[in-house]
Amino acid sequence: MSLQDLIKQSGGSLSIKNKIAKIDATGMYYRDLNSLLRQLDKNGIENIQVHNVCGQRYLGTDLKGNIKLDLYGTPGNDLGSFMKGVDITVHGNVQDACGNTMDNGKIVVHGRAGDLAGHSMRGGKIFIRDSAGYRVGIHMKEYMGKRPSIVIGGTAQDFLGEYMAGGVLAVLGINMKQQVHDARFVGTGMHGGVIYIQGEVRHMGEEVAVRELDADDYNLLKPLVKEFCSYYDMEAEKILDGNFNKLIPVSKRPYGNLYAY
């Protein structure tokens, strides 16, 4: 199906100039919008700007080129799932499972994120300007030499880093009235990776321990914070001067006693 046929079928609108495509997604069904994005990707478009996004799911899924995708509005669940190198910027909030099982690429959110951000991600980066919901980074893992990263500007809710097997989670605690995070069961079942949190954590899983950061930790954290600040016009040094704690797993088999006899 041609691009014009896809637009006619979906009821949206499309304009293309100098390898930049602009879409008005008002009322577009998510399958039609995703089909259009895939066709634009195959036709060598370098930047796609989608306006009036409202709950359409799976945006960015199955895009294989090094394309830049700008979304204006609120994309639905599973934004960027399974993606392999796309650069997504969301000018608004995102719903649940942003970056689900993403393999590579980057998602920059100029707002908040729902639950399950970075679910099972095995590569790439997610930057969230404000706060995020429950179970962020659940089942994160390192795969084929890739180290996935999630940076959250504010705070996150319960079960942060649950069953985490690899990667980096950083919670910066920006603009919190008190440097105390209310999330419970942080790191429950964690058996790999590292969590950096600015401020105090009230309730952690039994599988993690708190340590002070060393030089290697700051070498890992500093470039992530600098990149985060570059997207949101913030001062990295001011954030890095804060009181960070490092959460690490104390066992490679946190539930081994449940299955060993």
- The last residue of one of the domains, among 64, 92, 120, is 92
What's the domain count of the chain?
Answer: 2
CA-based nearest residue to 97, from 83, 66, 111, 76: 76
Helix ranges restricted to H, the chain? 3-10, 30-42, 215-232, 236-240, 256-259
Digit-coded pLDDT (tens) for 218-231:
999 999 999 999 99
Same domain for 116 and 243, yes or no, is yes
Task: Check residue 44 and give its pLDDT.
Answer: 85
The sign of the dihedral angle between the CA atoms of 37, 40, 44, 49 is negative
Please check whether residue 194 lies inside any domain of the structure: yes
Say whether both 119 and 201 belong to one domain. Answer: yes
Q: Which amino acid is at 219?
A: N
Q: Is residue 260 a part of any domain in this protein?
A: no
Ramachandran region, residue 71 (left: φ > 0; alpha: ψ -120 to 50; beta: rest):
beta
- Among 92, 127, 150, the domain boundary falls at 92
pLDDT given at position 260: 52
pTM of the model: 0.93
Q: Is residue 105 part of a domain?
A: no
Domain contains 97: no
Contacts of 5 (CB under 8 A, 6+ apart): none
Residue carrying the six token digits 């637009």 = 7
Q: With CA atoms as reference, report the closest residue to 75 among 111, 22, 118, 101.
A: 111
Question: Which tokens belong to 157?
Answer: 């809710």
Residue 259, domain member (yes or no): no
- Co-location of 227 and 133 in the same domain: yes
Q: What is the CATH number of the domain that holds 133?
A: 2.160.20.60
For residue 88, which phi and psi values (nearest 5 degrees)? -110, 130
45 and 158 part of one domain: no
Kindly give the parts of the chain with pLDDT less than 50: 261
- Whether residue 242 is found in the same domain as residue 120: yes
84: containing domain: 1-92
Please give the DSSP secondary-structure letter assigned to residue 178.
S
Domain co-membership, 133 together with 242: yes
pLDDT on residue 62: 77
* Residue finishing a domain among 30, 64, 92: 92
Q: Does residue 246 share a domain with residue 119?
A: yes
Residue 133 lies in a domain: yes
What is d(CA 20, CA 215) in angstroms, rounded to the nearest whole number? 43
Judge if 31 and 144 occupy the same domain. no
The answer as to whether 102 is a domain residue is: no
* pLDDT of the residue at 10: 62
103 domain-assigned: no
Average pLDDT, the chain: 91
Same domain membership, residue 145 and residue 190: yes
How far is residue 218's CA from residue 216's CA, in Å, rounded to a whole number? 5
